[in-house]
Structures are given as C-alpha cells and as structure tokens.
A and B are shown apart, each in its own frame.
Chain A
Amino acid sequence: MTVTQTVVREFEVDLVVRETEQVAHDVVAMTLSSPDGTALPDWTPGAHIDLLLGDGLTRQYSLCGRTSETDAWRVAVLKAPDSRGGSTAVHDLGTGATVRVRGPRNHFPVVAAKRYLFVAGGIGITPLLAMIYEVEAAGAEWELHYGGRTRKSMAFLDELEQFGDRVHVVPEDELGRPDLDAILGEPRPDTLVYTCGPEPLLAAVEQRCAAWPPGSLHLERFSARKSDEPTQDSSFELVLQRSGKTLQVPADRTVFEVVREAGVSVLGSCLEGICGTCETEVVDGDVDHRDSILDDEERASNEVMMICVSRCTSPCLTLDL
C-alpha cells in the first residue's frame, strides 16, 4: 500500500526582544524581531502568537502593533498577580533576550462592517488596538470604550489620543465602570461589537448583546470559559476521512490525543479550547462544543470543532483529517 505521510505544523521561530517599554503600571510592551531582520509572516488584526517560555510553559499574546510593520511584532504583557507563571516569565525577558515564538493565528478577525463598537477591559485593549488601526484606515465608523482600574494601569492611552473623541477612556477610580446599558442597550444597525478583557466584562457584554442581531458580537477570551454544568464524557467512534482511519475515543481521552497517537499530524497549542489552533472540519457527527472560541451560531452550524476539548454525543464522529 502506498502511504503518503504528512506533517502539518505551525510556523515557529526564535525571535529577539528588540525593545521593551513600560506602557502602564503593570504592562510591558515588547517588540520582537528576527535576529537578522528578515520579514516575519503577515498577520491581520485580532491575531495572536504563542510565546514558548520553556518547561512546557506556553502563553498566547495578541499582536498589538501595525500590520504594515513586517519586520517586527509587538505584544503587551500584564504582570498578573494570579499569573500561572507566564506573565512573570515574559516580564523577565529583557531587551536582547531570545524567545521561541509560534504562529501567528487568528480566531478574532475583523469582519467587514460599516460601524464598529469596541469594548476593552484592561489588557484586553491589545487586539482591539490593532483593529482600530485597520478600521480607521478602511474609513469605517468606530468608537472605543476602554475601562480599567486607574489611568496609570491602562496601556496605550497616549497612542489612543490621536483618535480624539472616538475613544472613551473610563478609569474606574474616576468614572466607575463603562455604562454598558448606555453603550449596548439599543442594538445598532450595521454595527459589529468587538470586546476583549476580563471574564466578568465579557459576560456582561454577552448578556447585553443577546438582543442584537445574531453574529453582531465578537469576543476573545484569554482564559477558558467556565462550564456551567458538570459534563459526562462517553466514548465514541472516530473516523478520519482523509487518512482512511477508524479509531475509538475512550471517555477519558481527548480527540486530539487519539488522533496524535494514531500518527496523524494535527495542529495543537493551548489544549484547553482557547487558542483555536486545533480547529478541525467536521464531516459528520453531533459535536459537544466545549471550547471558548466558537459563538452560538458557529456551534450550531457544526462545521468545525476544537478537538482538544470538544467531544461527540452521537456514536460516531467523522473529521476531515
């Protein structure tokens, strides 16, 4: 039998920290470039990269520079007190340090619209900043509501000044929290809402946007969505169409693990349903979506799934692998 082996992987490279800048009390912006100055892969606003920090520690950071700058990537990192170690490790990287980078990938893309409403909370400004440069260049209407604890804790306020009154800065110690009822209370026609920030903000925005037309809300989570109900895992049959393999997924294993063990090359990164790397096309089967990326519409369409966490409720799942 003729077997064509295939390995699919994401772009990975060692980059040098060219510049670090304290852009807020606990936030450092880092500019990464290749040691010899060669161009880095193109990306679009909303994209993120993995920083591989050693000892299996991998963290995702949104690119927050300009897409026109092809020889450098900028990320901004919050030193989080409850950090799982990632942000401390990144803050320890000084100018001239080398860091392994994977990506970019994008599960938070800017979809075409006439108007955009951006709602940022704290470090959630990072992907939205790149989007703002994009939609401004495209000549779209937009406004940003940017909440944070204090002015000193909010990154990129100086950079946002150029956009004048399109930007509404809401430091909590001066003005309280952004008034989401006023901002999102009335669905606005031809407007897409983009939000990124801490989970309570995302949940509050999601709640207000329930009354908006389907597909209006786009959000990105930095941590996995908490499941409301306990889940029961069962085993099911897994058919990999392109590879011509039939496998069994036991109740205590993920689809991703079973596929990898069978020698079929798939992409994966965070393995907790937040980065989107393992997105796989579904040919057949009822998917039990457990990721923090797909919205309700995308889940209902059953076209793709994140195989690192999501499972199947029907007896058999067929994937385009």
Chain B
Amino acid sequence: MNQYGSAGHRPPAYPTQSWYVAATSDEVTSSPLGRRALDTGLVLFRTSDGAAVALEDRDAHSAYPLSLGRVEQDLIVSSYSGFAYAADGSCVRVPTQTEIPYDARVRCFPVREQDGLVWVWFAEPGLAGLRKPPSVPWLVDDAWSTVGRAWTTEASFMLLHENFADITHVAVVDPSFAPPVLSAGPVPLLEVEVTETAVSFGRNYPPAPLAAWHSALLGTEPDAVFAQREVGRFVTPGLWIDSWEVDLDDGSTATFRFTHAVTPVNATSTRHVWRVSRNFAPGEETSAQLTPLFTDYYERVRSILETMQGVLSLDGPRPDVHVAADAAAVQVRKIVNRMVADEQLGGTR
C-alpha cells in the first residue's frame, strides 16, 4: 500500500502511515511556506477560510517550487509558469491558453490542524480517515504555560526517540540541569507498558532534592526533598511526550510536560518541534527564564545526536550493547521496525 513511499529503491527509513507535524500553526499563513518532510517537498499555506493546505512543492509544468510563488484568491500560483492550483492540487488556470491541460495537478496531502500543530498525512490519502493525529491539548490550555522552539537535527528520527526513551543520560550530559535524583545511585524500577502501537514507561523516585533552578522556580528551600515521578510515552513515530512530576508539600503536583513532535526530513535529518509546558509558575517572565535553559539543554542533545549520526553514516550501524534501562527504547524500535517492514511492498517481515 506504499505507492508513495520514499524516493528511489532505498529501504525506507521511517514509517509513512502516521500523522507527522509539518509546521506549527503560526508558521502557516497566506504566504506560501516551503518545507521538506519524508523526502518530499511541501508547500503549506492558508486559504481565506483559514484552512491549512499542504501540496507538493513542485509545479507540474516544470521543476520549480510553488513555495516561491504566491497565493492569490485561494490559488497558489507558480512564479515561473504562472500555472495556478486550487487547494485540492488541481490546476485551474494556465496563462498561455484557455484549455487546462488534462488532469494537470500537484499532489495534495490530507491535513489536520489541532492544538497549534499542522499534521500532514504522507501515505495513501484514503487511509488518513482511518487514523487520527494524537491530541496534545495542554499546548493550548490556559492552565499550562508553554515554551519551546523548533529546528532541524541532522540525525535519524529514531535517534531522537531513543534519546527521549531513556532519560538517565540527562545526568551525564548536563549534571547541573538534571534532577539530582538521577545521579543519586541505583535508578528505581522502570515500568514499561506496551500496546501494538505505543510504549509508555514510568519510574517513581524516592524523596530527593530538586535542581537549583527547579527549586528556585517553585520557591522551595534548596535542600528540601520531594517525591518525584517520571512518565514517558512513545505515542506515534511522529510524537513523544513525557512528564516530570514533583509532589509538593501542599498535596499538589508541579508538572513539567515535554512534547516532542519529530518529523523525518529524510533518513538522517529530522524536524524537531519541542515544547516544555508547566502547570505552575505561570507568566511571561518565568517563561523568558526557562527558554534559554531548555534551549541550551536541547542544543546539547542535538549536537550529541548529530555526532552520533556522523559515526553511523561513516562506519555503519553495529549492534549496540543494551542495558535494562533501554527496555522502553527496545520496545519502540520493535514497533517502528515492524511498521517500516509492513509498509514495504510485498513485505519482508
């Protein structure tokens, strides 16, 4: 069922039968936005009724990106050929003749916009109706304050998922940023729960102090201890969410919730939209303090994953030595490998 699979005969590096975030809502306007995802050029724009549209970013007349053109009365017009296309991808006007070339069109992708994200379906359009993009309502909920950025990491989307699946390395990468309990000795029991398509995990930590920046944010004594909990979830190949929860003395829970939308650009490059939401310490001022802190951490992660991809690209993959803490990552890899294998025509499973 993979007539639109990745280009050429290379084995696909990612599943296509999943919704992926192509852009954030604020990026899509009445001016065309060009973006690559799943080895495909996309042009994204909005029609006058506010609907987001995703078409293939290539004029049917010649190999010229439509994203370099303009949107006129809900049509996107190539700034080379002058061909104009409607939101469904059909060509509706050519400047040099009155007849429109038979069946001239560009590929149109199903789009769902929710929670401030623009999700695009790259597999057979007919299958889009059988799956729903995952919901991340806290990104647009007033009870949560959210910071975040988006960038491209020059590494496979699986390296990002595997990084999210095991947070024990945070203490190694950035000890002053990490929760001190991560370096306080043996890590507690890791509980992993699987379904056919998703993996969840959780760990309960004994009472321990918080990182200095974290305790300052909560207004607690620097050496005060709190029970803490980590929960994470591989939702789809395009979405990872996890939380760090701190049980406060007044019975409430202060939660950081991390949302990672990962979209393969190609086999070794990934668009990464990350969001850090919190249900405490609201306000712009706090957000302005947190943005550089998390940006710095995720830039370190990006740099490490890019270095890792460099080694993989030069010397090829090798069986990694796994430890018990990798249990969630192992399950995620199983699910993704199966999806990729099943999407290959004829199947090789």
Q: State the CA gap A2–B325 with chains docked (Å).
A: 11
B326:A113 contact, CB within 8 angstroms: no
Q: Tell me, yes or no, whether B191 is within 8 Å of chain A by CB.
A: yes
Q: Is the CB of A104 within 8 A of B195?
A: yes
Interface residues of A in 124-163 (CB under 8 A from B): 133-135, 137-140
Q: Does A298 contact B (CB under 8 A)?
A: yes
**B197: which of A9, A41, A243 is its contact (CB, 8 Å)?**
A41
| In the complex, chain B residues whose CB is within 8 Å of the CB of A11 | 193-195
Interface mask (A106-117 → B, CB under 8 Å = 1, otherwise 0)? 100111111000
Interface residues of B in 1-18 (CB under 8 A from A): 1-2
A41 CA to B327 CA, complexed, in Å = 20
Q: Judge whether B316 is part of the interface by a CB distance below 8 angstroms.
A: no
Please tell me if A215 contacts chain B, counting CB pairs below 8 Å: yes
Q: Is the CB of B130 within 8 A of A134?
A: yes
Q: How long is the Cα–Cα vector from A138 to B131 in the complex, in angstroms?
A: 12
Contact A42 B195 (CB under 8 A): yes
A47 at interface, CB cutoff 8 A: yes
Which residues on A sit within 8 Å (CB–CB) of B338? 109
B317 at interface, CB cutoff 8 A: no
The verdict on A241 contacting chain B, using a C-beta distance below 8 Å, is yes
A156, B197: Cα distance in complex, Å: 27
Chain B residues near A2 (CB-CB < 8 A): 185-187
Stretch from B25-33, B216-224, B273-281, B341-349 forming part of the interface with A: B341-349
B189 at the interface (CB under 8 A from A): yes
> Which stretch of B81-89, B90-98, B121-129, B306-314 is in the interface?
B121-129
Is B348 a contact partner of A44 (Cβ separation < 8 A)? no
Q: Tell me whether B160 is interfacial, beta carbon within 8 Å.
A: no
Residues of B within 8 A of A241 (CB): 322
Q: Report if A192 contacts B (CB, 8 A).
A: yes
CB atoms of B196 and A43 under 8 A apart = yes
Asked if B346 contacts A4 (CB within 8 A), the reply is no
User: Would A215 and B346 be within 8 Å (CB), given that A135-B1, A137-B126, A320-B322 are in contact?
Assistant: yes
A137 with B195: in contact, given A5-B189, A7-B190 (CB under 8 Å)? Answer: no
Chain B residue at smallest Cβ distance from A244: B323
Q: Within 8 Å of chain B (Cβ to Cβ): is A6?
A: yes
CB pair B196 A104 closer than 8 Å: yes
Per-position 1/0 for B123-143, Cβ under 8 A of A: 010110111100000000000
Complex Cα distance, B35 from A88, in Å, reads 56
Q: Is B290 close to A, CB under 8 A?
A: no
Q: Give the residue of B192, B324, B346 whose beta carbon is less than 8 angstroms from that of A243.
A: B324
Is the C-beta of A221 less than 8 angstroms from some C-beta in chain B? no
Tell me the residues in window 215-240 of chain B with beta carbons closer than 8 Å to chain A beta carbons. Answer: 236
**Cβ contact within 8 Å between B346 and A112:** yes
Interface presence of B198 (CB below 8 A): yes
Given A41-B196, A113-B346, A4:B131 Cβ within 8 A: no
- How many angstroms between the C-alpha atoms of A318 and B124 in the bound complex? 40
Report how far A215 CA is from B342 CA in the complex, Å. 12
Contacts of A231 in B (CB 8 A): none
Partner of B342, one of A70, A111, A135, A267: A111
Shortest A24–chain B CB gap in Å is 25
CB-CB under 8 A from A138, the residues of chain B are 1, 124, 126-127
Binary A-proximity of B329-349 (CB < 8 A = 1, otherwise 0) = 011000000100111111111
Residues of A within 8 A of B195 (CB): 10-11, 41-43, 103-105
Bits for A158-188, please: 1 = Cβ < 8 Å to B, else 0. 0000000000000000000000000000000
0 or 1 for each of A24-65: is its CB under 8 Å from B? (1 = yes): 000000000000000001111001000000000000000000
Across-interface contacts of A84 in B (CB, < 8 A): none
Q: What is the CA–CA distance of A114 and B341 in the complex, to the nearest angstrom?
A: 16
Instruction: Tell me the minimal C-beta distance from A104 to chain B in angstroms.
Output: 5
A66 contacts B by Cβ under 8 Å? yes
Complex Cα spacing A105 to B338, Å: 12
Q: Which of B126, B196, B348 contacts A47 (CB 8 A)?
A: B196
- If A9-B192, A138-B124, A243-B324 touch, whether A112 touches B342 (CB-CB below 8 Å) is yes
Report chain B residues within 8 Å CB of A9.
Answer: 191-194
A67–B322 Cα distance when bound, in Å, is: 34
On whether the beta carbons of B130 and A113 are closer than 8 Å, the reply is: no
Nearest residue (CB) in B for A63 is: B196
A68 and B131 form a contact (CB under 8 A)? yes
Show the binding face of A for B, using Cβ within 8 Å.
Answer: 2-11, 41-44, 47, 66-68, 70, 103-106, 109-114, 133-135, 137-140, 190, 192, 215, 241-243, 265, 267, 283, 298, 320
Interface residues of B (CB under 8 A from A): 1-2, 124, 126-127, 129-132, 185-198, 236, 319, 322-327, 330-331, 338, 341-349
9 closest cross-chain pairs (CB), A and B: A111-B347, A41-B195, A137-B126, A4-B324, A138-B1, A112-B1, A112-B2, A6-B327, A8-B192
Q: List 15 A-B contacts (CB under 8 A).
A: A2-B185, A4-B187, A4-B323, A6-B191, A7-B190, A8-B193, A68-B130, A103-B195, A111-B341, A112-B1, A112-B342, A112-B347, A137-B130, A139-B124, A190-B346
